[in-house]
Amino acid sequence: MGKSILFVYGTLKRGQRNHHLLAAQQFLGNATTEPRYRIVDLGPYPGLVAIHENGLAVRGELWTVDDNCLRQLDTFEGVPDLFDRRPVAIPGWKEVHAYFWNGAIAPSAASGNIWPFSKELRR
């Protein structure tokens, strides 16, 4: 069975409401992306987007996940309609993937580098 490295930044993180989907997988540690992304507020959950200008170093967690878990997460995340799983740049790591938002973003949507957002981190 294959294994993949997954960067999570929202409801899949430890202590968040959907973490149970990763509970049987291996936690590798906290991680921060290169400053090319933002987390946007999509209401009940966040979405990761690539930003070429004004990108931030997004904070999250790295997990080793097996193929079965990855398939389940793809279904849960609505791949390829709502989200798409693709490479994300994490300094010191190769072949890390994350779920990126595929939809439109309201111009007034809050964004930041860590979720859940605090009022101080909204930009």
Where do the structural domains in the chain lie, given as residue ranges? 3-112
Cα dist from 58 to 12, 20, 46, 67, whole Å = 15, 22, 12, 25
Looking only at the bridges linking them, the beta strands covering 83-87 and 96-101 are antiparallel
Query: What's the rounded mean pLDDT across residues 75-94?
Result: 97
- pLDDT on residue 30: 98
The residues annotated as belonging to the active site are: 77
Mean pLDDT across the stretch 68-94? 97
Distance of alpha carbon 45 from alpha carbon 89, whole angstroms: 22
Instruction: Out of 3.40.50.300, 3.10.490.10, 3.30.540.10, 2.30.30.180, select the CATH number for domain 3-112.
Output: 3.10.490.10
The pLDDT > 90 percentage for the chain reads 85
pLDDT value, residue 1 = 66
Q: Which amino acid is at 9?
A: Y
Q: Across the chain, what does the average pLDDT equal?
A: 93
Exposed / middle / buried, residue 13 (Cβ in 10 Å: 0-12, 13-18, 19+): buried
Task: Look at 87 and 43; give whichever has higher pLDDT.
Answer: 87
